[in-house]
Chains A and B, each alone.
Chain A
Amino acid sequence: MQLTPIQIVITVLAVALGSMITRFAPFVLFPEGKRPPEVVNYLGSVLPPVMMGLLLVYCLKSVPILSYPYGLPELISIAFIVIIHLWRKNVLLSIGCGTALYMFLVQAVFVA
Chain B
Amino acid sequence: MELTRKNKFTHALSAAFPHTLPVLAGFLVLGIAYGMLMLEKGFGPEWSVLMSAVAFCGSMQFVAITLLTTVFQPVEALILSLLVNARQLFYGLSMLDKYKGFGKVKGFLIYTLCDETFSIASSVNPPEGVEPKYFYLSISLLDYLYWGFGTLLGGLLGGMMPFDMKGLDFALTALFVVLFLEQMKKKGNWIFGLIGIACALLSRVIFGAENMVLPALAIILVALLAGRKKRCN
* Number of residues from A at the complex interface, CB < 8 A: 71
Verify B172–A59 contact, CB threshold 8 A. Answer: yes
Verify B92–A78 contact, CB threshold 8 A. Answer: no
Verify B196–A19 contact, CB threshold 8 A. Answer: no
How far is B84's CA from A100's CA once the two chains are assembled, in angstroms?
A: 26
Of the candidate stretches B13-21, B141-149, B179-187, the one touching chain A is: B179-187
How far is B93's CA from A52's CA once the two chains are assembled, in angstroms?
A: 22
Verify A20–B111 contact, CB threshold 8 A. Answer: yes
- Chain B at the A interface: mostly helix, strand, loop or mixed? helix
A-B contact pairs, 26 of them (CB 8 A): A15-B67, A18-B77, A18-B78, A18-B80, A22-B88, A24-B110, A25-B89, A26-B96, A27-B96, A47-B192, A49-B192, A49-B193, A52-B179, A52-B180, A54-B197, A58-B200, A85-B177, A94-B174, A94-B177, A98-B170, A98-B174, A98-B177, A99-B33, A102-B173, A102-B174, A105-B167
Verify A12–B171 contact, CB threshold 8 A. Answer: no
B39 to chain A, nearest CB (A): 11
Residues of B within 8 A of A53 (CB): 180, 192-200
Given contacts A53-B195, A59-B173, contact A15 B64 (CB under 8 A): yes
Of the candidate stretches B3-11, B50-58, B127-135, the one touching chain A is: B50-58
Query: How many A-B contacts if CB must be within 8 Å?
Result: 265
Interface residue B83 (Cβ < 8 Å from any Cβ of A): yes
Residues of A within 8 A of B47 (CB): 8, 12
Given contacts A8-B47, A82-B181, 14 further A-B contacts (CB under 8 A): A16-B57, A27-B96, A27-B106, A42-B228, A47-B83, A49-B186, A54-B199, A55-B180, A57-B200, A59-B172, A81-B174, A98-B177, A102-B173, A103-B170
